[in-house]
Amino acid sequence: MSNQKQGKLICVGTGMRMAGQLTPIAQSYIENSDIVIAAVPNIFARKWLQGIAKEYICLLGYYSDVEIEGKDRRDTYRRMADTILDQVRAGKTVCAAFYGHPGIFACIAHMAIADARAEGYSAVMEPGISAEDCLVADIGIDPAKTGMQSMETTQFMIYQHVLDPTCLQILWQPGLAGDLSLKKFETNTAHLQILVNKLARYYPLEHEVILYEAATNPMEKMRIDKVRLGDLPTALLRQITTLVIPPAKAMQFDQAVIDQLNAIAEASKVSQQAA
Ligand SMILES: C[S@@+](CC[C@H](N)C(=O)[O-])C[C@H]1O[C@@H](n2cnc3c(N)ncnc32)[C@H](O)[C@@H]1O
């Protein structure tokens, strides 16, 4: 007999654009779960979810927690995960829905799944279409060509990350660059100048970078604005902007490794001839 408790959690992504980017399995969980708990900013997507869910809780209002003295985004995310867990503990099948992919730059789903499993509940994540998936399609870049590094902008600024300028770089949340308070949802020119100064260790200021925003509904146009790296502090950066930095240098062979691989191939040729 299984010890699994009755409540269940399924975290799904709604994609970046509701029309067409929701997977059939995510839709089935949204329609059939006892309750849908969602943090989906697009109003049309929200209305649609509310319309088909048996019961619905919207988490967006929780973001105003950051206005309370002593609280920051981490408290907001904790309260969202706790709200999800309360419904699982009540024995319900809970579908937690997030825009894009529920597990990419979205810690709430990871927190809720870890907590649910630790308490003995079944908890799974279904993948969704993320901003990164859309930018690969919209900009027309294949991460396989040069390799890709992908990180959060403020994390890049405050940690000793090392960038490889021969790779494609994806910097998430540049619109929040440099906010150490974890209370703001914007950046400013002073913070962006510090970002540019750090990027200038790897790239010339003339290097062209891309400000990308996927369309979130079929009537909207995507944004693919190319700007000089040095002009980034005065560019328009929004909460939904992703910064894409194409490679600035050609990849260099690692001849020592190539020599080792060739030596193995040569040795196996010699042993085949001897056999
Ligand atoms: C909290 S993360 C959420 C990512 C989301 N879970 C996903 O799967 O793409 C927010 C960041 O995702 C990126 N993002 C969100 N919406 C976007 C859009 N419409 N176009 C491009 N990037 C977007 C931006 O870098 C933004 O700062």
**Segment 7-41, tens digit of pLDDT:** 999 999 999 987 789 999 999 999 999 999 999 98
Structural domains of the chain sorted by starting position, each given as residue range(s) with its CATH number in brackets:
8-129 (3.40.1010.10), 132-245 (3.30.950)
- Does 191 contact ligand 1 (Cβ within 6 A)? no
H-only helix segments in 90-212: 107-118, 131-135, 153-158, 189-199
* Active-site annotation holder among 17, 29, 46, 73: 73
pLDDT at residue 12 in the model:
98
Nearest CA to 245 among 154, 177, 153? 153
**Segment 97-125, tens digit of pLDDT:** 999 999 999 999 999 999 999 999 999 99
As a whole number, mean pLDDT of residues 137-151 equals: 97
CA of 258 relative to ligand 1 center, distance in Å: 38
pLDDT at residue 195 in the model:
98
pLDDT at residue 63 in the model:
83
pLDDT at residue 182 in the model:
84
List, in sequence order, every residue forming a beta bridge with 96; answer none if it has no partner.
11, 37
- Does 243 contact ligand 1 (Cβ within 6 A)? no
AA letter at 6 = Q
- Whole-angstrom distance, CA of residue 20 vs CA of residue 129: 10
Respond yes or no: is residue 77 known to be catalytic. Answer: yes
Respond yes or no: is residue 56 known to be catalytic. Answer: no
Query: pLDDT grade, residue 165 (50/70/90)?
Result: very high
- Percent of the chain with pLDDT strictly greater than 90: 82
As a whole number, mean pLDDT of residues 217-244 equals: 96
pLDDT at residue 2 in the model:
61
**Segment 52-94, tens digit of pLDDT:** 999 999 999 888 878 788 788 898 999 999 999 999 999 999 9
Q: Average pLDDT, whole number, for the chain?
A: 94
As a whole number, mean pLDDT of residues 234-249 equals: 97
pLDDT at residue 95 in the model:
98
Of residues 199 and 42, which shows the higher confidence score? Answer: 199
- Whole-angstrom distance, CA of residue 49 vs CA of residue 51: 5
- Cβ neighbours of residue 75 closer than 8 Å, sequence gap 6 or more: 65, 66
- Whole-angstrom distance, CA of residue 153 vs CA of residue 36: 31
- Whole-angstrom distance, CA of residue 3 vs CA of residue 18: 37
Respond yes or no: is residue 29 known to be catalytic. Answer: no
**Segment 247-260, tens digit of pLDDT:** 999 999 999 999 99
